[in-house]
Amino acid sequence: MKKILVTTALACMICSAVFAQQRRPDAPLPKWEGLALTPQMGWNSWNKFATNINEELIKATADKMVELGLVDAGYVYLNLDDGWHGERDEQGFIHEDKEKFPSGIKALADYLHARGLKLGIYSDAGTNTCACYAGSNGHEYQDAFTYASWEVDYLKYDWCYTQNLNPIGAYTTMRSALRRAGRPILFSICEWGSNKPWEWAKDIGHSWRTTGDIGVAFLPIPVTYDENGRPRWRAQSVLEILDQNEPLRKYAGPDHWNDPDMLEVGNGMSVSEDRAHFTLWCMMAAPLILGNDLTNMSRETLEIITNKDVIAIDQDPLGIQGLRTLKAGYLQYWFKPLSDGAWAFCVLNAGSEDATIGLDWPEMEFKDEISGRSPQFKNINYEVKDLWNPSKKPFKTFEGQAIVEVPSHDVVTFRLTPVR
Which ranges constitute the DSSP H helices of 117-159? 140-149
Nearest to residue 414, comparing CAs of 369, 352, 364?
364
Give the residue numbers marked as catalytic. Answer: 158, 213
SS3 of 335-376: EEECHHHCEEEEEEECCCCCEEEEECHHHHCCCCCCCCCCCC
* C-alpha–C-alpha distance, residues 172 and 163, integer Å: 17
Q: Which residues contact 152 (CB under 8 A, 6 or more apart)?
A: 105, 109, 119, 120, 121, 183, 185
* C-alpha–C-alpha distance, residues 289 and 291, integer Å: 7
SS3 (DSSP) at 124: strand
Contact 292, 301 (CB under 8 A): yes
Q: Which residues contact 181 (CB under 8 A, 6 or more apart)?
A: 141, 144, 145, 147, 148
To 10 degrees, what angle do helices 167-181 and 140-149 make? 40
Neighbouring CB atoms inside 10 A of 158's CB total: 25
